[in-house]
A = this chain, B = another copy of it.
Amino acid sequence: MDYIQVMNTMTLSALAEPNRLHIVELLRDGPRPVGEIADRLRLHQPQVSKHLRVLSDSGLVEVHPIANRRIYRLRPQPLQELDTWLDSFRRIWEQRFDQLDDYLLELQAKELTDGDKI
């Protein structure tokens, strides 16, 4: 049973926005309420709320309301999936040192074959 490892673009596009990436990196140090995130990153509160919405939709963070505040915390899953995806590349690179050489040999073989046909 062969698995073709495919990655979810939601996670990637969520992380691709610089401010959202900063938020994720901030939350790495522990959960934070919205206001504190805004303060630390010097962003306006609505901006932060909207970014957190995107991060939440992609499963990268989750909320825990405490009284007035909403505490945002990182969720491991999407980043773990990203890690699994990267694994499929590590395996390849360990396996074949120089893929270009492989390709060239393949190409050469094909052209020799074509030469026979003509």
The verdict on A30 contacting B88 (CB below 8 Å), with A13-B16, A16-B9, A25-B7 known, is: no
In the complex, the answer to whether A17 meets B9 with C-beta atoms within 8 Å is yes
| Copies in the assembly, this chain | 2
In the complex, the answer to whether A99 meets B31 with C-beta atoms within 8 Å is yes
16 interchain pairs (CB within 8 A)?
Answer: A9-B15, A9-B17, A9-B21, A12-B16, A16-B16, A30-B102, A30-B106, A31-B100, A66-B104, A74-B89, A79-B86, A79-B89, A82-B82, A82-B86, A83-B83, A83-B90
- Name the CB-closest residue of B to A32: B103
Query: CB of A18 within 8 A of chain B?
Result: yes
A72 CB to closest chain B CB (Å) equals 10
Residues in A51-109 with C-beta less than 8 Å from chain B:
64, 66, 71, 73-74, 76, 79, 82-83, 86, 88-90, 92-93, 99-100, 102-104, 106-107
A100 to B63, CA, bound (A): 10
